Structure 1
Amino acid sequence: MRARTLLPATLAAALLTLTACGSGDGSTSDSGPASSSAEASSPAQAPAASNGNGSGAEGAQVPKVLNFTATTVDGKPFDAKTLAGKPTVLWFWAPWCPTCKGQAAETAKVAADNAGTVNVVGVAGLDKNAAMRDFVSDTETGSFPHLSDEDGEVWKRFEVTQQSHYVILDKNGKTVYEGVLPGGKGLADKVAGLTG
């Protein structure tokens, strides 16, 4: 009898989590994500921009939140230490999410308009890598890196529980915004506030 009661409740909770595509309230957060001592499980190596001594791009000190590695959807190693020293937009998306697809054009525009001054990184999850690659191709967002986070390690690191979610960090790695921006509206203004 108890199993009959628990199973529907568990299934409902799982479906609610997976179908919450863009249902967040876009709230801001002044506190950074909980730091995780575990690095992403992929054996990625640091790109040349990281000098390996705890400094990221341009010798910036690497905040703990950017001390992880991953693999991009096209199979390249990615070291988040290279993001240090510049504001960073992390866009958490899922390939099957219509809200995410609706954010793609604005996110790509913000990435192009701020190339060299702001990092924009997609963090794909909740599906297989082939679907993630298709999403990047279909939405024409290949001008900035997208991480393949099939195991959800980066999502857990930033405590993201739903797709179509942005986490914006200042140049010191402090979370200055966390939430949903329907259609990406407001993303450019939030980034402009960090660059000047």
Structure 2
Amino acid sequence: MRARIVLPAVLAAALITLTGCGADSGADGVATGTSPSGASSPAQPSASPDAEDGTTTEPEVPNALQFTSTTVDGKPFDASTLAGKPTVLWFWAPWCPKCKAQAAETAKVADDYAGKANVVGVAGLDKNAAMKDFVADTRADGFPQLSDEKGEVWKRFEVTEQSRYVILDKDGETVYEGVLPAGEGLAEKVAGLTG
């Protein structure tokens, strides 16, 4: 009987959060690494030389990057190609003014750290046409933008509001999850992982 009352309340609270525009709730911070197991095509995983025979081996794909999706341009996307480098997942919605304010800094970080870190946008909470318009309007087409209309990637990373960053280290462990107004501080967080 109690579950019948509590479950609808929890679901209603989650829906209310999803319909907001990423209000700064002070929920940003460092994650403990317990989060679930990641335009242009993604970067290829960096290969490591095998110490014994000089051949190269692909990095192990962490659970966090074992998913596939589709870009806003309809191209297949395999997150396993992100393995071996720090990865920024930027969760945004096309109608969100805070997301729009983050676009320029996120695109700059993607460009500045190309080859050293991955940056991937994960659009949700709208239709693909609106997502494509957002990417064009904000000039955020220099890095992969996923169309997550069904919210599968959002659910995988337990994201409940847009205007959110999830940053993974090179081993796929979550090292940051939260809001960065206008993308402020993103470059420093990525520099700390690549440096």
Q: TM-score range by the shorter chain?
A: 0.7 to 0.9
The question of 1:34 aligning with 2:36 is answered yes
Cα gap change, 1:143 to 1:47, in 2 (>3 Å): closer
Matched residue SS, 1:81: helix
Structure 2: distance between partners of 1:20 and 1:144: 23
* Structure 2 gap segments, 5+ residues each: 1-7, 48-57
Note if contact 2:17-2:160 (Cα within 8 Å) is conserved in structure 1: no
Matched residue SS, 2:182: helix
Deviations 1:119-157 (A, max 9, x none): 000000000000000000000000000000000000000
The question of 1:17 aligning with 2:18 is answered yes
**1:140 aligned partner:** 139
Note if contact 1:24-1:179 (Cα within 8 Å) is conserved in structure 2: no
RMSD: 2.3
Matched residue SS, 1:102: helix
Structure 2: distance between partners of 1:47 and 1:139: 20
Matches within 5 A, 1:41-190: 49=44, 56-58=45-47, 59-190=58-189
Structure 2: distance between partners of 1:12 and 1:176: 26
Deviations 1:75-109 (A, max 9, x none): 00000000000000000000000000000000001
Deviations 1:17-44 (A, max 9, x none): 3114242322221223134xxxxxxxxx
Structure 1 runs (4+) deviating above 4 angstroms are 9-13, 46-49
Structure 2: distance between partners of 1:132 and 1:14: 20
Structure 2: distance between partners of 1:191 and 1:10: 34
How many residue pairs match? The answer is 174
Which AA in structure 1 matches 2:108? K
Cα gap change, 1:47 to 1:125, in 2 (>3 Å): closer
Deviations 1:142-185 (A, max 9, x none): 00000000000000000000000000000000000000000000
